[in-house]
Structure 1
Amino acid sequence: MKSYTSDLQIQQFQHDLISWFQKEQRILPWRENADPYRVWVSEIMLQQTRVDTVIPYFLNFMEKFPTVAHLAGADEEQILKAWEGLGYYSRVRNLQTAVKEVHAEYDGVVPADPEKFGELKGVGPYTKGAVMSIAYNIPEPAVDGNVMRVMSRILLIEEDIAKPKTRKVFEEAIRDVISKENPSDFNQALMELGALICTPGKPSCLLCPVREHCKAFGEGRQQELPFKSKKKKQKSLLLAAAVLTDSSGSYWIHKRPSSGLLANLWEFPNCETVSDILPQKEELQLFLHEEYRAAVELQALEGTIQHVFSHLIWNLVLFKGVTDHIPEGSGLIRVTEEEMKQYAFPVSHQKIYQLYQDQM
């Protein structure tokens, strides 16, 4: 494998980067201490989610589940509710599975062995490197999109970061340059640099503490990197959803399957509309009758909702209806408005509920 670090002044690079971080780092709740459980939870939350979004979720989650034992013993419904709105719910399911193993096999102490920690459910190379370095000061690389962007510019790495094999290139480069004395601050400094200064598009090079080490800056190519090939276009689906109530104002809701997209979350009844013959309203009414034995006359709500996943776009057309006659065992349960606050809904269905409330 090509060496990208042979002409980098590694010790000076480490010094400049870490010194900047120690002076300029943001005050974040998961940096209050290096408790490995807190670091682990924060890193799982921060995957594909912005820091300012994560902060209130992290504080709430830590209040509810402050230790490995609390999370290991918690009911999944409580955990999903605490995660509601963060998305990518498999993250928290995997986290609880892994935490249960830590509780059972390691007496509730997150293992300080990278190999053992890396074998836990949902712990990939990045999470392993982040937790091991930040919590235990073990010099493991923690390579995410931020770090690849920074190092592609520093070292002029032109590999396609959309390809999984490219991560290995960056992991080897980080192993060469990581501070063995202070890997915790080194890895956090790379992440912080990517978040605050070495940003996508137009990086703030004049503020960069390691500008003089940066090959891309030296050649005026910082805006070209990293190189990332384009993803395939997302699939777009048209769906119809119904907010169903009974005559007393309680709601009929449905639990999604235990596997697949948004597993075990609650939602208003809905279906994909595919017919070229029936209007969406009639197609949804037919679905409600066939799926839940619910005979209900629907009225359209004003407005539609679009929800974007990484691979999929939902376009939701919305309706409302009132019915007291849905058989037990149909798959729909009846909950009051107050009771519904205890159930975890995906963001798309939170938006449906808000739109319904706005029009009542």
Structure 2
Amino acid sequence: MITITIDPARQRKLRSAVLKWYDQHGRRLPWRTSADPYRIWLSEIMLQQTTVAAVVPYFERFTAKFPDVRSLAAAHVDDVLRLWEGLGYYSRARNLHKAALLIQQNHDGVFPADAQLLQALPGIGRYTAGAIASFAFAQPAPIVEANTERLYARLIALSADVRSTASQRTLWDFATTIVPKNRPGDFNQALMDIGSQICRPQEPDCERCPLNSCCAAFALGQQRELPHRKPRVPITAVDEICVVIRRRDRYLLRRRENGERWAGMWDFVRFEVEASELEHLPITTPQTARTSQRSLLTAPQSPLPDKIRCQVQAQIGATVGDVVAAMEFRYSVTRYRVCLKSFLCDGTLAANEIADGTQWFNSAELAELPLSKTGRRVVEWLTNRVT
């Protein structure tokens, strides 16, 4: 483990520079207008793996619908997921709802101020607990997230892989050392702003950085090389099949189970297939050029291949009719690049033939269901296609 020491004079200089910069340049964001722990918690959960620009409209809609922890706890989880739709990483929304219920039940709807108590809530780790404790309750709690991790690593010229256990311990120790008792929330938010706006992953703007005189990497000319990380995992191509089963004006969907991607949300029958299975699909030439979304030509009254029909039956407990229309689009999830081919099939299923966890919905009901972003694109295709 690397031990980092910082002398009192450098510590005072760093703290002063950070707060002075924040007073002049700190971002004005909707969740920074008050010290409400609910709004701070919500924003921090939304900002995980998501940009500020993407979060702002979701935050404003969410707080308009659920202005406090009590209203969130009283909501049905489907309403929470529907409002979260498109933001991704839906376990965040489920954990928000679970945590709101626990705060209501165990703390009478009042947010705990203690970082250890906060970490006992679903979805709140050490960073989020530190953010809430410092932003809402003015406690000198340290934070380490993507932007401050990079900033700290450059300030101390950390040459080891920043994601290693030893490096993380070093960075947390450094964060604990520098956070002041005076204005700890502003200090931590300033560090995140400096990290995102100035101490960028590529091309850090060191000349404009208020901490360049305190930065070991800048002094060594290593700011572009640091921090070190393990190489990224290669991109993996994936093919998926989505089967939309229609009966008159209703569509069959299944609720995703715990442990599945998009758990708790509704989805059409969907599964991954091997590339070799695509050769047997009832598709001819595309009607449009290869873009992010295109219609696919199908032969009249074409059945799905037997293997795919069996997979559909395994999910919903019934067979399906021939293909009526087809479409494909591409999307990304972490390191996966997915090509999703969707097939609309007419079905003649009786109500008692479908499996548990599946249900028929009409078009109006589909508009209100919590769906993944890709599921919503399939619904839009169904709505817009000419029947």
Shared fold (TM-score, shorter chain, > 0.5): yes
CA drift at 1:301: 2.3
RMSD: 2.1
Q: CA offsets per residue over residues 143-199 of structure 1, 9 Å max, x none?
A: 001101111111211221232442221110011111221111110001111111111
CA drift at 1:320: 1.6
Q: How does 1:216-295 map to 2 (within 5 A)?
A: 216-233=217-234, 235-247=236-248, 249-274=249-274, 276=276, 279-280=280-281, 281-282=304-305, 283-292=307-316, 293-295=318-320
* TM-score (ref. length: structure 2): 0.86
Distance across 2 between alignment mates of 1:68 and 1:327: 39
Give the match's secondary structure for 1:103.
helix
Q: How does 1:189-200 map to 2 (within 5 A)?
A: 189-200=190-201
Gaps of 5+ in 1: none
Give the match's secondary structure for 1:95.
helix
When residues 260 and 318 of structure 1 are mapped into structure 2, their CA distance, relative to the original with a 3 A threshold, is: closer
Q: Which residue of 2 aligns with 1:142?
A: 143
Of all paired residues, the percent bearing the same amino acid is: 30
CA drift at 1:323: 2.5
Q: Which residue of 2 aligns with 1:10?
A: 11
Which of these residues, 326, 330, 335, is aligned with residue 306 of structure 1? 330
Q: Which residue of 2 aligns with 1:340?
A: 366
Q: Is 1:97 aligned to 2:98, yes or no?
A: yes
Which of these residues, 302, 319, 322, is aligned with residue 297 of structure 1? 322
Give the match's secondary structure for 2:63.
helix
Distance across 2 between alignment mates of 1:134 and 1:220: 34
Q: Which residue of 1 aligns with 2:354?
A: 330
Q: Which residue of 2 aligns with 1:74?
A: 75
Distance across 2 between alignment mates of 1:27 and 1:258: 38
Q: Which residue of 2 aligns with 1:352?
A: 378
Q: How many residues align structurally? A: 358
Distance across 1 between alignment mates of 2:350 and 2:24: 62
Q: CA offsets per residue over residues 51-74 of structure 1, 9 Å max, x none?
A: 010111111111111111111121
Contact 2:244 2:252 in 1 (8 A): yes
Distance across 2 between alignment mates of 1:341 and 1:357: 10
Q: Which amino acid in the other structure matches residue 375 of structure 2?
A: H
Q: Which stretch of the first structure deviates more once superposed, 272-281 or 58-67? A: 272-281
Gaps of 5+ in 2: 282-303
Q: Which amino acid in the other structure matches residue 287 of structure 1?
A: Q
Give the match's secondary structure for 1:223.
coil
* TM-score (ref. length: structure 1): 0.92
Q: Which residue of 2 aligns with 1:152?
A: 153
Contact 1:285 1:295 in 2 (8 A): yes
When residues 338 and 134 of structure 1 are mapped into structure 2, their CA distance, relative to the original with a 3 A threshold, is: same
Q: CA offsets per residue over residues 105-142 of structure 1, 9 Å max, x none?
A: 11111111122112222211110111101111111111
Q: Which stretch of the first structure deviates more once superposed, 38-47 or 212-221? A: 212-221
CA drift at 1:10: 1.1
Give the match's secondary structure for 1:287.
helix
Contact 2:320 2:348 in 1 (8 A): no
